[in-house]
Amino acid sequence: MSSGDEDLSELNAAACPTVHSLDAIGTQWRLNVLHDLQEGEKRFNELKRSTGASSRTLSQTLDTLTEHGLVDERRAEAAPIAVYYRLTEKGEALQPVFKELEAWATEHMDLSDHTA
User: Structural domain tally of the chain?
Assistant: 1
Residue of 62 and 20 predicted with greater confidence? 62
Task: Report yes or no on 65 lying in a domain.
Answer: yes
Dump pLDDT digits (tens) for 4-39: 555 555 666 566 777 777 777 778 899 999 999 999
8 CB-near residues (< 8 Å, 6+ apart): none
Q: Which domain holds residue 94?
A: 28-108
Percentage of the chain with pLDDT > 70?
Answer: 83
CATH number at residue 42: 1.10.10.10
Dump pLDDT digits (tens) for 92-103: 999 998 899 889
Position 116 confidence tier, pLDDT thresholds 50, 70, 90: very low
Task: Report yes or no on 10 lying in a domain.
Answer: no
